[in-house]
Structure 1
């Protein structure tokens, strides 16, 4: 394919280069010869940037979230119950053989955790399950909990929550693929050319099927969890290696979850949460240090990078320790709360800080309460860069939307709405934010991958909602047009 009159935008300098013609083939970009037989797209002087990546997506949960009714992220328990009552009143046959599923509550500022009994007051015998916005808890009615195979009080957290979400994924493969395809098309329209799929039960074969049926609209690196590590090792697919010749699907990292989330007070911290007075009140470690080291060593030996979830600062310290002991490479996912003494360790160990800027908008109010004494150590984008660390941006969708431009805006302005910037001292430049979204590729040029985005605007001339609202005129992933308005 021949792209005529493209103007590469250098993300390091913010300067638009003179118009050039670019030839794509074999997934790469080259300078075209004097004569060439190729399909032609005239970009008419549009700015062209390297393609954008979302480094942390739960694709199946994102697709399922489209089918769930939304409840307020800011409401109290009683407010959520009111949302549920309204939704059930609008259903023609609530609970007809299926669990009614909602999504979006945040429990971080509630004065108590609710139970099945609370939901039962509104839903009766209708099975209802509500998934939290951060995916770390599921609130079930008594009947829903029973149908999912859980007892207890109906408020499931961490491992139980993840298992419940897997059981709630009741769509047929064909229906799920179509929903995934719709999500991918929306992402491509925002300029996304690649994602890391961190879904619990995703696999290479599922994505190859989607690619074969036209339901894959970007590069995909498929993560594997510890329970399937042996299988991944046996296949011999190193992280980044294509699953088949010419495929956009590749092996991703080993994904390990070491702690919980701030909303459930389960992010593992060095200091207790407000009202606590000891280690038992400082969050949870879901994988012990020795087990973590063993997993990372096995991944290292199999040429798999490791992507390790750590939201609390003690979890981050423990993860960095494990990277140092094993010599493994990879990323620390979320890095939401950090000790400053750990900052230089990222660069020293070659560990990427894989962060989600939009979480700053979602979590700032809760952090001002839950981590009131330590918000100055949250979302340390500027300090991480100053220490030499590499930043990589993602969404953790469906926790936040797959929307790289909104994430870039938040990283640059430390706000995503009309509120003033939150800890503006940690703001980074637009160039730095964009490079964190392109895997460090600064300019589209011959020799590089045919992953690119053509824009009708110059993002360096924008700010606020205009920057957050940038869309793509043309998106190419691996030389394939995945979105076009031309």
Structure 2
């Protein structure tokens, strides 16, 4: 087996017995030794390859605990709408979209966010119809919980004035009752049902470019939150052939009909691909007012969001997946959804005897104080995304009011209550840049350093806790704490070389930091 010696300014191991070192040596796909340069050279023996990374800081492999690989690939290959400041800018970008942005004859785009536009109101079909009268257009909102479509797309989907809102969905309408072109949560399914399937070549391209992007930003692993069956089959094929560059901990898509295939086949354990979780969705997103709240939205009286599954159906699906040996991971944004999800996970785990499967609350974004305590006491994983807080902080109070913010994006409170924190980005809803996540977790500020002192700063994490949230936390949340999350002899050789120390360096330095190398199972999958 190949032996490689890595020397750096500092190796931050997250091993309490030896937290700092100068070098490490890798033999095959495992860490052989960590220590001083002399100690490691002695362990490596003669003939070892040596890599001097100079002033770099080595840290254990960084893992995004909640992300969407196929979604990132779609974002990178369709019309990019992130950062568009107005409806007019969206239409301009669509007009310049290349052929790769089409699926069949449909023009696809992703990333629009009305909260970044003047007035902060939902767009309408008229703006799209003026430019694309006969081409169907489908644009996914930044949070993946709403479509904005034109008249041709509505026509093909059979959506008109008389179309009834589906359970768990909302067709936004104008004063006359006509659909405006915005479809929220389960109403999106009406368009998805008539959208042409991507070709095999499109699927492969999207997966490849997404994995390449992950390696570039320093990710050695990704927890994919709701993988579709076709993507799973392709990654399983690549893994069997030794072509999967990153570790993927996949959660079965448990919301649609393909859940039956996952239940029939059961969990999967490959070399780089594990399918052991199952993803369900309790509610929608805060930005599209689909998050399920106990009380009305502060900026839309009478609206309390949407439950995407009835409580009875959510419980039945959770029990079915637990009984089949799956860790159940449930999306919950609003406080009503989080109350329901904590109830369901506690009850079903007790009935099935599966508390040891480390069930997870995905997002755990807005909670009542009593539910924070219940979540922690039950030993549940809180899978949270630091950059969601810094993206939402400009408008979250308008949605929720001041009082509800006290239990929102409450990472410190969740940790203190006993929950395992597994940090992620929810890419492509946010950028996959893990360094931005480390910065947000420590500061609760945007890239410009606003607000001074941080937004609800009492919920910040320390620098070491933030690093553990992207290393130790995801390892425990995926049953890999004995193999990954720290740099110790015998552990998997997954690590990242950074231009700054994410613990001792100033938080602001993370905004300009660089990933110098990404190593997975002893193989360099990215080198700057």
Question: Quick one: structure 1 residues 165 and 118, their matched pair in 2 at CA, closer, same or farther if it must change by over 3 Å?
Answer: same
Against the structure 1 CA distance between its residues 65 and 58, is the aligned structure 2 distance closer, same or farther, given a 3 Å change threshold? same
- TM alignment of 1:14-25, pairs within 5 A: 17-25=20-28
2:464 to 431, 434, 439: 431
- Residue 87 (1) aligns with residue 93 (2): yes
1:343 aligns with 2:372: yes
Determine the structure 2 residue equivalent to 1:271: 295
The structure showing larger relative contact order (alpha-carbon pairs under 8 Å, at least 6 residues apart) is 1
Change (3 A) 1:370 1:406: same
- Equivalent position to 2:73, from 63, 82, 104: 63
Partner residue in 1 for 2:111: 104
Measured in 1, the distance between the counterparts of 2:506 and 2:61 equals 20
Q: Aligned to 2:252, which of 224, 243, 262?
A: 224
Distance 1:184 1:471, change over 3 A: farther
User: Which residue number corresponds to residue 176 of structure 2?
Assistant: none
Q: What SS does the corresponding residue of 1:319 show, helix, strand or coil?
A: helix
TM-score with structure 2 length normalisation? Answer: 0.81
The alignment status of 1:145 with 2:188, answered yes or no, reads: no
Cα offsets for 1:77-120 (capped at 9, x unmatched): xx31x124423554699999722223222245867544434532
**Alignment partner of 2:416 out of 360, 364, 386:** 386
Distance in 1 (CA, whole Å) between partners of 2:232 and 2:408 is 34
Deviations 1:393-438 (A, max 9, x none): 1111110011111011011110122221211121110101110100
CA contact (8 A) 2:444 2:460 kept: yes
Of residues 280, 285, 289 in structure 1, which corresponds to 2:311? 289
SS of the aligned residue for 2:77 comes to: coil
Q: Could you tell me which residue of structure 2 aligns to residue 5 of structure 1?
A: 7
Residue 447 in structure 1 maps to residue 471 in structure 2: no
* Pairwise CA distance, 1:259: 0.3
Counterpart of 2:269 (choices 208, 227, 242) is 242
Aligned to 1:474: 517
Q: Does 1:458 align with 2:501?
A: yes
Q: 1:442–1:478: structure 2 CA closer, same or farther, 3 Å change rule? A: closer
Among 328, 332, 335, which residue is 1:310 paired with? 332
Task: Note closer, same or farther for the CA distance 1:20–1:371 as it changes in structure 2 (3 Å cut).
Answer: same
Where in structure 2 are the equivalents of 1:172-191 lying within 5 Å? Answer: 172-191=199-218
CA contact (8 A) 1:196 1:252 kept: no
Hey, what's the Cα distance between the residues in 2 that align with 1:236 and 1:194?
A: 22
Q: Could you tell me how far 1:332 is from its partner in structure 2? A: 0.5
- Residues 325-357 of structure 1: per-residue CA shift (max 9 Å, x gap): 112432111111111111122222121111111
Mean alpha-carbon deviation: is it higher for 419-428 or for 111-120?
A: 111-120
SS in 1 for 2:435: helix
Q: Are the counterparts in 2 of residues 339 and 377 from structure 1 also a CA contact under 8 Å?
A: yes
| Alpha-carbon separation, structure 2, partners of 1:103 and 1:14 | 46
- Given candidates 182, 189, 193, the residue that maps to 2:220 is 193
Provide the aligned C-alpha RMSD in A: 3.1
Q: In structure 2, the residue corresponding to 1:66 is in which secondary structure?
A: helix
Q: Which runs of 5+ in 2 are unaligned?
A: 34-39, 164-178, 474-483
Q: How far off is 1:43 after superposition?
A: 4.2
1:295/1:43 CA distance change after superposition, 3 Å: same
Secondary structure, counterpart of 1:157 in structure 2:
strand
What is the aligned partner in structure 2 of residue 209 from structure 1? 237
1:276/1:156 CA distance change after superposition, 3 Å: closer
The answer to whether the Cα contact below 8 Å between 1:411 and 1:427 also exists between their aligned partners in 2 is yes
Q: Are the equivalent residues in 2 in contact too, given 1:12–1:442 (CA < 8 A)?
A: no
How far apart are 1:267 and its partner, in Å?
Answer: 0.5
1:403-422 to 2 correspondence within 5 Å?
403-418=433-448, 419-420=450-451, 421-422=454-455
Aligned partner of residue 459 in structure 1, secondary structure: coil
* CA distance in structure 1 between the aligned counterparts of 2:98 and 2:467, rounded to whole angstroms: 47
Distance 1:463 1:45 in 2: 16
Contact 1:84 1:122 in 2 (8 A): no
What CA distance in whole angstroms lies between the structure 2 residues aligned with 1:54 and 1:395? Answer: 6
Q: Displacement of 1:165 after TM fit?
A: 5.5
Shift of the alpha carbon at 1:10? 3.8
Give the whole-Å Cα distance in 1 for the aligned partners of 2:444 and 2:47: 48
Q: 1:39 to 1:232 in 2, by over 3 A?
A: farther
CA distance 1:210–1:470, change in 2 (3 Å): farther
TM normalised by structure 1 equals 0.87
Q: Which moved more, 1:7-16 or 1:62-71?
A: 7-16
For 2:144 and 2:22, the matched residues in 1 are separated by 46
TM-fit CA distance, 1:126: 3.4
Q: Which moved more, 1:295-304 or 1:201-210?
A: 201-210
Change (3 A) 1:231 1:99: closer
| Count of equivalent residues | 472
SS in 2 for 1:370: helix
Q: Distance in 2 between matches of 1:217 and 1:150?
A: 42
Q: Distance in 1 between matches of 2:193 and 2:50?
A: 45
Match of 2:58 among 40, 45, 48: 48
Give 1:158 shift: 0.7
Deviation at 1:47, TM superposition (A): 2.9
